[in-house]
Every structure is written in structure tokens, then in C-alpha cells.
Amino acid sequence: MAVVLQESLRGLFYAPYYSALSLGAYQAEGLEVRFVAAPRPGVAQDALFDGTVDVAWGGPMRVNQVYAQRPDCDLVCFGEAVTRDPFMLIGREPRPNFTMADLKGVRLATVAEVPTPWLCLQHDIREAGIDPASLNRVTDRSMADNMAALRAGTVDVIQIFQPFAEDLITSGDGHLLYAAANRGPCSYTTFYARRPVLEAKRAELGLLLRGLYRTQKWLHNAAPATIVEAVRPYFADADAGLLEKALARYQALGIWNQQPILPRDGYNRLKESLVSGNFAKGTPYETAVDNSLAEQAVRADPSAIK
């Protein structure tokens, strides 16, 4: 049994998926996983449609986007790992009582690599009664460039993920203003595939979900230093101490689901952000989500991977 699994973007918040690979969780279930990387996030779904990839992990945002673009779309999300938003706002100056109103009058640099972080943040801003278009926002630079700009003083606040955020906090060059995870459930990363593949490879994908669930059990009881050992092959150039601090913060924020069932409230919060940002019309939960394999894995209750 074999499945071709694709990542769309290298990110530390995908730790459950990397850990499953490095701990051999899929092999323990009798499943061979061939791991590949998309050339860039925006084309990750193309490999699902041309048949070179069976499963991708990424945001339900992509599934909603493709439903808006392709009348033949049959993508479905079926195994959640990241259940809260992993992005943060880091400022040059501390603001212990930060509110979204503090973004008025500052130079804000947001994520350019992928759309979901800004779409979710702009919805937070709208809910605070502020027009996101009124902000002084830099939109076209990478997170690494925005880090440099914050340190140089040419921007005041940046939107960024780990371990970049931890680098700024640890060095004292930046201060955590807002962890988007604190807004609550917001489905961020799942497995997704075409529905015919989900049916044709149901046995294989059932094993994939068992492997993920066993890894999730392990992850929620593992010390950050132990998680570093599991994900380190995918972040070979990163400082181990910084990774440990970054993972500890993610763990404390509860960004990882404890099981692979994708909850309706988290999906709907993401969908609302896509709609309010005029990114997609919003695909119904029943169309975009199939929890049957995840529910099967949870009922089976396999032991944590070791």
C-alpha cells in the first residue's frame, strides 16, 4: 500500500505531519508514504488534479479557492492537524494591552507568501469595527524581509510565524502583540484529496489517518525538546534552542488538534474570513469536509506512536 503525500509550504506549525513521517507512524500502520513538495503553495492543488499526488496537506482555504475557480472541483478535507491560526503580530515596541485599534497609524507588514494569514487577520480587524483598507499596510515582502524591516525600523508591526517570531522575541528586537490562535478555533491545516481518490484509496487513507492520530497523541504528551528531535530533519539549518522555544509556544497556544476530526466551528470561522475578504464565496462544510475516516480512526483508538 502506498500514498503520494505533498506538502505545499515548509512551516514549523506543520509539526504533526513532519513528526508522523520521522517517527515512522505510517510505516507502523503498514502504509508506504512517498513524500514530495509542491513547487510553490499556489499550485499545490494542480498535482491532485493531474494525478501525480494522492493527498496534500494545506489549508481548507485552498479547497475553498479551487471550488470558486473550477466547476469540476471535488476536493475534500479529511484529516485536521492545525486547528488554530499559527501566525502572530510582532511589534517593535511592547503594547501589553494591544487591540486591533492599535494597528491604525502604524506601518503594518503582512504575509505575502500565502493568503490565509491576512484573510484571517482582516476578519479580526473588521470584527473590531475597523476597515482593513484604511491601514498603512506593506503587502509584497517575504516574512524574512519583514523581519529585517522591523529590525531596521522601517515597519512597526509584522505578521509572521514560528520560528521567525521567536527569533525576534528572544533577541529583544520584537514583542508579541497578538497570537492569532487566541481568537479560537480556525481550521488551518488538513489533509485534502479529490473525492474519487478518497473512495478508491479508502483503505490506504484510513491508515494515513491512524498514523496521524497516533502522532497527535504523541505530540500532546511530548516535551518540546523531544518534538524538536522529530522535526529537525525538516529544519536542519534552524537553531535547535530556538525551535524548542517556538514549539513550546505553539503547544501552549493549542494550535494542534488532539485528533484528526475537522470541527465545524473552526471550518466556519475560516470560511467567514475568506468570504469577508472577497477571496471565495465559501464552500459549505458538507461539501468540503469528510470526517468519516477521521471518526473511524478515533473510534479505533490506536496507541500513541513511540
SS3 percent helix, strand, coil of the chain, rounded to 5, is 50, 15, 35
Q: Return the bridge partners of 89, or none.
A: 159, 178
Looking at 183, 203, 225, the residue that finishes a domain is 183
pLDDT at 59 (0 to 100): 87
Looking at 155, 183, 211, the residue that finishes a domain is 183
The angle at the Cα of 214, spanning 8 to 182, to the nearest 5 degrees, equals: 60
255-288 pLDDT tens trace: 999 999 999 999 999 999 999 999 999 999 999 9
Identify the domain containing residue 93 by its residue range: 88-183
- Is residue 135 located within the same domain as residue 167? yes
Look at residue 153 and tell me whether its pLDDT is greater than 80: yes
Look at residue 147 and tell me whether its pLDDT is greater than 80: yes
Residue 154 belongs to a domain: yes
The residue behind cell 484571517 is 120
Residue 288 belongs to a domain: yes
Q: At what angle do helices 240-253 and 164-171 cross, to 10 degrees?
A: 110
Number of domains in the chain: 2
113: three-class secondary structure by DSSP: coil
- Is residue 233 located within the same domain as residue 249? yes
Q: In three state form, how does the secondary structure of 184-222 look?
A: CCCCCEEEEEEHHHHHHCHHHHHHHHHHHHHHHHHHCCC
Residue 76 belongs to a domain: yes
- Is residue 295 located within the same domain as residue 283? yes
The residue behind cell 482582516 is 122
pLDDT at 196 (0 to 100): 97
- Is residue 262 located within the same domain as residue 213? yes
- Is residue 266 located within the same domain as residue 288? yes
Residue 305 belongs to a domain: no
Residue 222 belongs to a domain: yes
- Is residue 189 located within the same domain as residue 276? yes
Residue 254 belongs to a domain: yes
In which band, very low, low, confident or very high, does the pLDDT at 297 lie, cut at 50, 70 and 90?
Answer: very high
205-234 pLDDT tens trace: 999 999 999 999 999 999 999 999 999 999
- Is residue 80 located within the same domain as residue 97? no
224-261 pLDDT tens trace: 999 999 999 999 999 999 999 999 999 999 999 999 99
- Is residue 39 located within the same domain as residue 161? no
- Is residue 230 located within the same domain as residue 159? no
pLDDT at 1 (0 to 100): 77
In which band, very low, low, confident or very high, does the pLDDT at 22 lie, cut at 50, 70 and 90?
Answer: very high
Cell digits of residue 104: 491604525
Residue 306 belongs to a domain: no
Looking at 164, 183, 202, the residue that finishes a domain is 183
Whole-angstrom distance, CA of residue 205 vs CA of residue 199: 9
Residue 250 belongs to a domain: yes
76-126 pLDDT tens trace: 999 999 999 999 999 999 999 999 999 999 999 999 999 999 999 999 999
- Is residue 266 located within the same domain as residue 178? no
Whole-angstrom distance, CA of residue 61 vs CA of residue 73: 14
What CATH number does residue 93 fall under? 3.40.190.10
Phi/psi for 191 (5° steps) reads -70, 145
- Is residue 175 located within the same domain as residue 225? no
Query: pTM value?
Result: 0.96
- Is residue 63 located within the same domain as residue 124? no
Whole-angstrom distance, CA of residue 156 vs CA of residue 246: 22
